Amino acid sequence: MNFIRSFYITNRFFYAAGALVFLFIIGFAVPFVEIIALVIFYLSLACLVIDTLLLYRIKEGINVERLCTEKFSNGDENPVRIILENRYPIALALQVVDELPEQLQIRDQVFRLSLESGGVKEIDYNIRPTKRGAYAFGVVNVFAATVLGIVRRRYQLGEAKDVAVYPSFIQMRKYELLAISNQLQAFGVKKIRRIGNNMEFEQIKNYVSGDDYRKVNWKATARRGHLMVNQYQDERSQQVYSVIDKGRVMQMPFEGLSLLDYAINSSLVISNIALKKGDKAGIVTFQQKVNSILPASSRNMQLNLILEHLYKQKTGYKESDYSKLYIALKRKVTQRSLVLLYTNFESLSALKRQLPFLKRIKQQHLLVCIFFQNTEVEKVIHRKAEDLEEVYTKGIAEQLAFEKKLIVKELQANGIHTILTQPKELSVNTINKYLELKSRGLI
């Protein structure tokens, strides 16, 4: 039964069979042609037997190993490697088909290569997942053929494997490394000078030459009989919450990823940067109710907790309830914090329905409202109109883009910081706003 499942006759044999049938038909009229046809028939049959014996005389003639990480990064290119070894004493022509996860919807990926006897080759390719969750790899199918090419033997090798696709930790590490090497400016992150003094008391110490005389502690000086000064340090451990809207407005796709996935990837990046800056990072997700709250913390395991927390988030089809968000933040987040709200508003009327709750959140916290430009609308605006229909379409697109600008002005008029960004520039613009607010001493 296994032989039948793995045995394939190639097109070469069927072409030869068709030619033989043609020769036999002609042979009825020309006897000499019939003899030639019989000779070719027996030769073809002999080649078929020989080719089958060459492929099946060795039980395990091909060895395959698939190498990939246990976790994939969502929205990024993740490498996969297949290692092939030929254990036959002859060279082979191979076709390799890896059974990829169904979420990728890739059905035409075939690798063709030749492999010498005892040779080892590697196949490297990348996959870009666009949804978080478990991705199931199947086996690796290898179709082996000899130089005759009449028969192919199918090997089903390797192990089925499940890989978890997490929020973009590759993007997180990239910005972390750039921050460490001071190369963030190359990616659009601005270097912002710190304004003013935002200091907290650390200790009282003896005055030494060069200390700021304005920091002399006169009470301690009177008690000790010599000059004592207050020592301060930059305020640290401010709370930074990434609040993610999971409503239907976040289902809009851009380059395969939903706006929710862009928000989740950006939340992971900014949380990591905040932790590196000494602040506390937390996560809040909501839809028609507040689904989850991960309290802000700067402990060592916080980043892993954030990663696991974001891994299981999904969008819904209901409208988000900002009143529930306001109540949850008031009850659960008692310390004034930086609240980065990832959402999307397509019209001014949609904003005004939620504006009263945003204003209340703003009274308790430093609120930054982050929403998205519609890149398809921008493409229509910059495209030349060829006929009357395209003129009307372009006019509607310009009206939609203008309404986004009105939303920004309305939020700013109410004292709410805003970021209007393209999805691909979300992380950079969010980091810039965070650094700007830190430099101004607002958090």
pLDDT (average), residues 372-401? 82
What pLDDT does residue 196 have?
Answer: 46
Cα separation, 128 vs 137, whole angstroms: 14
pLDDT in tens, 64-107: 999 999 999 999 999 999 999 999 999 999 999 999 999 888 88
Q: What is the pLDDT of residue 327?
A: 94
Answer yes or no: do 161 and 267 share one domain: no
- Residue 273: domain span: 169-193+236-439
Mean pLDDT, rounded, for 398-424: 91
199 found inside a domain: no
Q: Are residues 23 and 58 in the same domain?
A: yes
How far apart CA 104 and CA 390 sit, in angstroms, is 34
Q: Are 289 and 413 found together in one domain?
A: yes
Task: Please determine, for residue 8, whether its predicted confidence score (pLDDT) is greater than 90.
Answer: no
> What's the average model confidence in pLDDT over 138-161?
89
- Above 70 in pLDDT, residue 145? yes
CATH number at residue 420: 3.40.50.410
Q: CB–CB of 426/266 below 8 Å?
A: yes
pLDDT value at residue 201:
58
Weakest-pLDDT range from 157-171, 321-335, 373-387: 373-387
| Residue 321: per-residue pLDDT | 92
Distance CA 9, CA 29 (A): 31
Most confident listed range (25-34, 267-276, 380-389): 267-276
- Average pLDDT score over residue span 253-271: 91
136 shares its domain with 240: no
CA distances from 255 to 16, 258, 359, 397 (A): 48, 8, 33, 20
On whether both 297 and 268 belong to a single domain, the answer is yes
Q: What Cα–Cα distance (Å) separates residue 12 from each residue in 18, 19, 162?
A: 10, 11, 38
Q: Please tell me the predicted confidence (pLDDT) of residue 1.
A: 42
Same domain, 95 and 31: yes
The distance of Cα 338 from the centroid of its chain, to the nearest Å, equals 25
Residue 151: pLDDT band by 50, 70, 90 thresholds? confident
Say if residue 57 is in the same domain as residue 174: no
Residues near 81 by Cβ (< 8 Å), separated by ≥ 6? Answer: 66, 67, 68, 122, 123, 124
pTM of the model: 0.77
Are 173 and 159 in a shared domain? no
Instruction: Say how many domains are in the chain.
Output: 3
* pLDDT bracket for residue 280 (50, 70, 90): very high
Compare 435 and 269 and report the one with higher pLDDT: 269
Q: Is residue 198 assigned to a domain?
A: no
Same domain, 430 and 383: yes
Do 88 and 58 contact (CB within 8 A), yes or no? yes
Which percentage of the chain shows pLDDT scores above 90? 43
> Are residue 225 and residue 250 in the same domain, yes or no?
no
Domain boundary among 166, 185, 214: 166
Q: Are 241 and 103 within one domain?
A: no
CATH at residue 29: 2.60.40.10
Longest distance between any two alpha carbons in the chain, whole Å: 131
Q: Does residue 350 sit within a domain?
A: yes
CA distance 212 to 232: 11
Asked whether residue 294 is domain-assigned, the answer is yes
Same domain (yes/no): 422, 327: yes
